Structure 1
Amino acid sequence: MRTGLGIDSHRFAEGRRLVLGGVEIPHGRGLDGHSDADVLAHAITDAILGAAAMGDIGQHFPDTDSAFKDADSIVLLREAVARVTAEGWRVEFVDATVMMERPKLAPHRAAIMATLSEAVGADVHVKATTGERMGFVGREEGVAALAVATLDRG
């Protein structure tokens, strides 16, 4: 059994959709990135790849590759799970936290957890916290996410 940690952050940007955990959340700004900038899916992808000692999201899906421009991060997450599964690993559980001031995540949490759980084939628990008005999260400049994934040999 192994555990991996994933962390990601993206700044807010005008004219983009806000996607967290594969769910579009109504908000005036989205997150800036090469893909859909889903920080939650990215953190979980890194946690899963890390637990399998298979690098990180940038190695598997580089932002220098036009094939991943505006990519759906849930598709990338599913592919990462397929790759660790091919190496004999099975995702057992994921725990994640999203850090942002607004919008509130609570109304979307059940849909996010369902989408992520389906993508990884295991329970995914999602929590949310604010930056207490401190740092880039507190100033509403961006969003951060942290995730821990537990894998076992299939």
Structure 2
Amino acid sequence: MIRIGLGYDLHRLVEGRAFMLGGIEIPYSKGEDGHSDGDVLLHAVTDAVLGASGLGDIGEFFPPSDQRWKGADSKMLLEEAWKAVVRDGWTLENIDCVIALQEPKFLPWRKEVRESIAQVLSVPAEKIFVKAKTGEGIGFIGRGEAVQAWTVCLLSKPD
């Protein structure tokens, strides 16, 4: 059996917060405004693996109304969700991600981000790919007001 999962997240960028992407803090003057550390990429990955497995979504596993998750490390959230997916018998085939952000430039951080996600999921980095697109100066992404991430993942499981 194979299943595809789609994950998405969007966060406003604000001053006074760290910019977290894929579990890596990237130097920038703004960071994501979120209940946890705001890592849009890891939130999208978490939703994708949970959706593909049929086990739920990030809001069910880690409700923002629960103060335990206030300021939480998104790597830990993904790790907990992934443990549930693996316990249910699923194997990761691959993950592909797109990040939409005007700044900072992502390419210098891609290898480190891929390795970070792979480490959390205990898979080879070759199973993870991440690319970024700018807003070309258009809309809330182009004005540097927010960052978005989309993720698809393919899981497999013996019938």
For Structure 1 versus Structure 2, the TM-score category normalised by the shorter chain is over 0.9
Tell me the SS of whatever aligns to 1:45.
helix
Gaps of 5+ in 1: none
Describe how 1:23-42 pairs up with structure 2 within 5 A.
23-42=24-43
- Alignment of 1:62 with 2:63, yes or no, is yes
Partner of 2:76: 75
Structure 2 counterpart of 1:36, one-letter code: D
Partner of 1:153: 157
- TM-score, scaled to structure 2: 0.94
- Alignment of 1:138 with 2:139, yes or no, is no
Q: Could you tell me how far 1:121 is from its partner in structure 2?
A: 2.6
Structure 1 counterpart of 2:34, one-letter code: G
Partner of 1:50: 51
Describe how 1:46-125 pairs up with structure 2 within 5 A.
46-122=47-123, 123-125=127-129
- TM-score, scaled to structure 1: 0.97
Partners of 1:91 and 1:121 within 8 A in 2:
no
Q: Could you tell me how far 1:109 is from its partner in structure 2?
A: 0.8
Structure 1 counterpart of 2:12, one-letter code: R
Partner of 1:128: 132
Q: Distance in 2 between matches of 1:42 and 1:91?
A: 17
Matched positions, count: 154
Q: Distance in 1 between matches of 2:66 and 2:118?
A: 27
